[in-house]
Structure 1
Amino acid sequence: MSSIVEEILKEHGPSRSSFITGLLKSQHGINDVNARKQLSRARGEILRFPVPLLPKREAFFYRKSQRTTEQLWTNYLDALRETGSVYGAAIDAMNRRGGLIPAAEFPVISGAPLALSKQVSTSRVAETLIAAGVLEQFNAEELGDVYKTKRPEIIGFDPDGFKSRQLAERIILDGLREWARRMGFGSYNKIVIRGEEAPRLVGQFMFDLTAPSYLSPLMNGKNNGFFAADVFAEGIFDEHAIRYFLRKSALLKATSQKSGQALTMLVAEGFTGPALTAGRAAGVILATPGTLFGSRVATALLSLTATLRNAAAIAVENPQRITRLLDDLNDIQGAAGNLHGVIFELITAYLVRNEGTSVDVGITARDPQTGKAADIDVLLVCGKAAVTGFECKARQPGGTVSIEDVDDWLRRIPTFRAHIVKETRFREAKISFELWTTGTFEPDALLKLQREKQTRSKTPIDFKDGAAVSAIAKAAKEKSINDALNQHFLKHPLA
């Protein structure tokens, strides 16, 4: 005969111990002591989750038949949310990163400090979630060292959107940095964003953007305060999705005597009513790209993310979409580097599309022998006969490609080639590489390219400056593409 505890688990699904003892008391008249004894003596069909994720190491029970069910994980996540567990906050934040994140960026969304007395550290959060079977850590061929969800039942796993989200978020961060500069929220030349080498710490907490701030409400005597922000390109955030950020901000405020007062901002596509209420109560800023940059830019950012998910197809089929994105997103001051880079890759893919059987954008090459990785901006395939990899160097009007840029590209060519020839169909193919720029080559860079072009026979190289790229567009009668090249890359606005 099944026990009362087992009947509760049958009816309500996997549950935390306090919920079960509450039902034993209210529905079956069992006192506290005997209710706890019933749980401690539970055996057979009743199991206890082996890794404690709930506060105060509260137990979570389930039946053997529920071990591999979606209900186990959804109920557990609900319990983590109800109890304010840091592990639940990290899981919800992982969800908003698509269930995949570089290991070095996990501290941003863990909701935990690097090291703080009486607090679970971000490394402990990762280790515990791995032990619980929620996450796994591994070296992905295209992404490097990452954390990935093992539980798609509770995290929306979306690896295909990883690169597009990363780029869209970098563009938002570029724009947010300029916004913070103009508003005086951060020290002009000391604003650091994701992707840069400088640490992005305020106290023991990591953010996507950090800056020392000299706004008077944040100052502590002569000591500066801080402005810090996290950015997400997609998703409407509910009260669960923002908990990691509220937790991080609250702990930062509690330790502000050591680190200084901080003004924190979370940027996302949108927020639900309960999320906005919780954010205001916590004293953090919840912003959208629309509130920061205007509705036109916000719409263009969403379009950019969708475009990058299928970059090659859109580059080949819809050049007007490329130029429209460039016009709309050019309103984000400071975004020129990341934005112009990806737009020039799309333009290059469009211009060479008819020279082969297929074209891809944003390929991560990895040498199977050395493990080295490098990005091929555009890869043009001509059946089994030939493969060409294009390096795209977008430059502002008057910009140049340096000898250091050329040396860096030449160093990566062996990795590109090793990645291509590992495919059997390309073993006999003619493999070549080209360096395209919208600017010009500095004299020493041009001299080296000319010399290397003459000496490389096994793996030929070529190069084109902005004028040569424009000539290709003119010859192909691609007026919209050539207009975009002139307006955004070739002709200085004061010329």
Structure 2
Amino acid sequence: MQILVANRFDKEAFVLLRRHGIIAATPANLFGREIADALNELTSVLANAASSLFDTERFEELFSTLGKIHGATNQLRGTLFEYLAAKMAERNGLGAIWMNRIFTAPDKRKAEVDIFALRHNHSVTAVECKGYSPRATIPDDLFKRWLQYNVPVAYKAMRDHPDYKNLPIGFEFWSTAPISEASMNLYEKAKSELNESRYTIALRGPRDVMRLCHQTYDQSLIDAFEKHFMLEDGTIPPDSRPPKALPPPSFEGATEEEWDI
């Protein structure tokens, strides 16, 4: 079943969709008027964010409303962190900020940079943002793709760009949840083997990100971060997390053959 969602449909479009067996629906049809209004306002809030007018308090209210949609909270948490991180980068002096830049290398491969920071005639910083629950662990495949694909592809694209090719380039991974021990080992190995005259890499785990947040001195930003990315007791998760231990095997009710007696 195919569904096309839009705020409104004219009569001709509606009839054409039905003719091809496609359901035309509006957010109000699917989720109710309260959720539909919140989605429309979220669009406005995020559009303002592109102009450095991000309203963290209003986003908080929308977060609570849209969290009623199953599965929406995780997506919204990631979106929230990207905008909080952009504010952190700007106020910590990383330079002019662009979000969600797509870089195309000479071989036509593409890589997205969540936050691109440029200090004119000084340096470039490309930040990957992962806004997860502090109880979660960043999936290994996401971290590995950033390290082994996004970084080298974006680097090649930047070195091919006339405005960036002679500037120092740094890639940073900002996360509100720990990475696994396996990812940490992968990172440390890559960092030890990296020729830093080409570019640098850095891992900013939950503690580093929290420090950057506090250094903005923006209380609404700090409150939003603490509410969604810290544990209930106020503690900050570690940079990496060991794998969960498997429970010991149970031999209750086992036969002699199973005990291999």
Q: Which string of whole-angstrom CA distances, capped at 9 and with x for unpartnered residues, describes residues 340-359 of structure 1?
A: 22221111101111313310
Answer yes or no: is the 8 Å Cα contact 1:439–1:490 preserved in 2: no
Answer yes or no: is the 8 Å Cα contact 2:170–2:200 preserved in 1: yes
Q: Which string of whole-angstrom CA distances, capped at 9 and with x for unpartnered residues, describes residues 22-52 of structure 1?
A: xxxxxxxxxxxxxxxxxxxxxxxxxxxxxxx
- Equivalent residue, structure 2, for 1:267: 25
Q: Which amino acid aligns with 2:24?
A: L
In the aligned structure 2, how far is the partner of 1:336 from the partner of 1:317? 19
Q: Which string of whole-angstrom CA distances, capped at 9 and with x for unpartnered residues, describes residues 324-352 of structure 1?
A: 43333223221134322222111110111
Answer yes or no: is the 8 Å Cα contact 2:143–2:183 preserved in 1: yes
CA shift at 1:427, angstroms?
1.8
Correspondence 1:81-96 to 2 at 5 A: none
- Equivalent residue, structure 2, for 1:488: 228
Q: Which amino acid aligns with 1:445?
A: S
- Equivalent residue, structure 2, for 1:441: 179
- Equivalent residue, structure 1, for 2:249: none
Of 387, 409, 415, the residue aligned with 2:124 is: 387
Instruction: Please state whether the residue corresponding to 1:237 is helix, strand or coil.
Output: coil
Q: Does 1:244 align with 2:16?
A: yes
In the aligned structure 2, how far is the partner of 1:385 from the partner of 1:298? 44
CA shift at 1:241, angstroms?
2.3
- Equivalent residue, structure 2, for 1:373: 110
Of 471, 474, 495, the residue aligned with 2:214 is: 474
- Equivalent residue, structure 2, for 1:231: 5
In the aligned structure 2, how far is the partner of 1:422 from the partner of 1:303? 39
Note closer, same or farther for the CA distance 1:489–1:294 as it changes in structure 2 (3 Å cut). farther
Root-mean-square deviation over aligned CA pairs: 2.5
Note closer, same or farther for the CA distance 1:454–1:300 as it changes in structure 2 (3 Å cut). farther
Q: Which amino acid aligns with 2:156?
A: A
Q: Which string of whole-angstrom CA distances, capped at 9 and with x for unpartnered residues, describes residues 239-275 of structure 1?
A: 12212221122xxxxxxxxxxxxxx74222xxxxxxx
Normalised by the size of structure 2, how large is the TM-score?
A: 0.78
Q: Does 1:328 align with 2:86?
A: no
Q: How many residues align?
A: 230
Q: Which string of whole-angstrom CA distances, capped at 9 and with x for unpartnered residues, describes residues 296-346 of structure 1?
A: 3222211222344454324x6543344343333223221134322222111
Could you tell me which runs of 5 or more consecutive residues in structure 1 were left unpaired when the two chains were aligned: 1-201, 208-228, 250-263, 269-288
In the aligned structure 2, how far is the partner of 1:295 from the partner of 1:341? 24
In the aligned structure 2, how far is the partner of 1:356 from the partner of 1:322? 24
Of 135, 142, 167, the residue aligned with 1:429 is: 167
- Equivalent residue, structure 1, for 2:188: 450
Q: Quick one: percent identity of the two aligned structures?
A: 23
Could you tell me which runs of 5 or more consecutive residues in structure 2 were left unpaired when the two chains were aligned: 236-261
In the aligned structure 1, how far is the partner of 2:142 from the partner of 2:81? 17
Answer yes or no: is the 8 Å Cα contact 1:340–1:394 preserved in 2: yes
Answer yes or no: is the 8 Å Cα contact 2:45–2:54 preserved in 1: no
In the aligned structure 1, how far is the partner of 2:54 from the partner of 2:31? 29
In the aligned structure 1, how far is the partner of 2:102 from the partner of 2:48? 15
- Equivalent residue, structure 1, for 2:153: 415
Of 109, 134, 142, the residue aligned with 1:397 is: 134
Q: Which string of whole-angstrom CA distances, capped at 9 and with x for unpartnered residues, describes residues 145-170 of structure 1?
A: xxxxxxxxxxxxxxxxxxxxxxxxxx
- Equivalent residue, structure 2, for 1:463: 203
In the aligned structure 2, how far is the partner of 1:343 from the partner of 1:324? 12
Q: Which has the higher contact order (CA 8 A, sep 6+)?
A: 2
In the aligned structure 2, how far is the partner of 1:389 from the partner of 1:451? 20
Answer yes or no: is the 8 Å Cα contact 1:385–1:426 preserved in 2: no
In the aligned structure 2, how far is the partner of 1:468 from the partner of 1:325? 27
Of 71, 74, 85, the residue aligned with 1:348 is: 85
Answer yes or no: is the 8 Å Cα contact 2:45–2:55 preserved in 1: no
In the aligned structure 1, how far is the partner of 2:77 from the partner of 2:120? 30
**Which of 1 and 2 has greater Rg?**
1
Structure (1/2) with the larger helix percentage: 1
CA shift at 1:380, angstroms?
0.8
